[in-house]
């Protein structure tokens, strides 16, 4: 039994946001990142405006499989409507012919384009800057959440016994106690 090689298909995904939380850069970046997980080429091309986005990419998924995948992306992002179509040779547009030709060309096996592509460079640069900015924001948010959790634990819980807390005061002074240790010591002294 010989296995058939699945031919990669080129697709156009038209996205129309219908959620006020839609952010042009971040939302499109999220969709492009998710689509990059199913492409064999490193290249996903997209253009977007305030009320639409168009993605062009190549994948081995069939259209029904890809439709399910896009619906999964939809569950994790601000809501949008979409139209998914295989790319055909007969496409017309009022887009500049050079831009349209570049948009519809996808390099096989991740090869770099021989010509400079200022439009793609612009999008890549903006996406990288946005990714770095989002990463820094997420990192700061995680650090703040970790500190809040640690403060909560320090205030509400301690595994030290009263004798261990007294030993700690003797060795390091009263200022070395956490809020939880002070609270436990105060509660103990009120019981006496």
CA dist., res. 187 & res. 146, Å (int): 27
* 78-136: pLDDT as tens digits: 889 999 988 877 787 787 787 777 777 776 544 444 555 555 566 666 666 777 777 77
Query: Would you report the helix, strand and coil content of the chain in percent, each value rounded to 5?
Result: 55, 15, 30
Domain boundaries, given as residue ranges, for the chain: 9-115, 140-191
- The two three-digit tokens of residue 31, written as one number: 């969709």
User: What's the distance, CA 182 to chain centroid?
Assistant: 42
Please give the CATH topology (third level) of the domain spanning 9-115. Alpha-Beta Plaits (3.30.70)
Helix (H, G, I), strand (E, B) or coil at 55: strand
* 5-51: pLDDT as tens digits: 567 888 889 999 988 888 888 888 888 888 888 887 667 888 888 78
Q: Does residue 9 contact residue 86 with C-beta atoms inside 8 Å?
A: yes
* 58-88: pLDDT as tens digits: 888 888 999 999 999 988 888 899 999 888 7
Q: How many CB atoms lie within 10 A of CB 122?
A: 10
| pTM attached to this predicted model | 0.52
């Amino acid at each position: 039994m010989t296995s058939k090689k699945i031919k990669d298909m080129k697709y156009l995904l038209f996205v129309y946001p219908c959620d006020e939380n839609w952010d042009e850069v971040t939302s499109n970046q999220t969709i492009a990142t998710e689509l990059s997980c199913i492409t064999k080429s490193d290249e996903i091309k997209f253009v977007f405006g305030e009320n639409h986005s168009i993605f062009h990419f190549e994948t081995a998924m069939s259209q029904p499989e890809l439709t399910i995948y896009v619906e999964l992306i939809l569950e994790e992002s601000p809501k949008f409507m979409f139209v998914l179509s295989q790319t055909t040779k007969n496409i017309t547009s009022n887009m500049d012919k050079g831009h349209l030709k570049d948009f519809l060309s996808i390099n096989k096996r991740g090869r770099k384009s021989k010509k400079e592509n200022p439009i793609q460079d612009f999008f890549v640069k903006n996406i990288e800057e946005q990714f770095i900015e989002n990463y820094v924001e997420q990192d700061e948010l995680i650090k703040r959440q970790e500190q809040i959790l640690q403060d909560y634990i320090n205030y509400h819980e301690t595994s030290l016994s009263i004798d261990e807390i007294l030993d700690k005061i003797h060795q390091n002074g009263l200022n070395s106690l956490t809020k939880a240790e002070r609270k436990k010591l105060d509660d103990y002294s009120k019981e006496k």
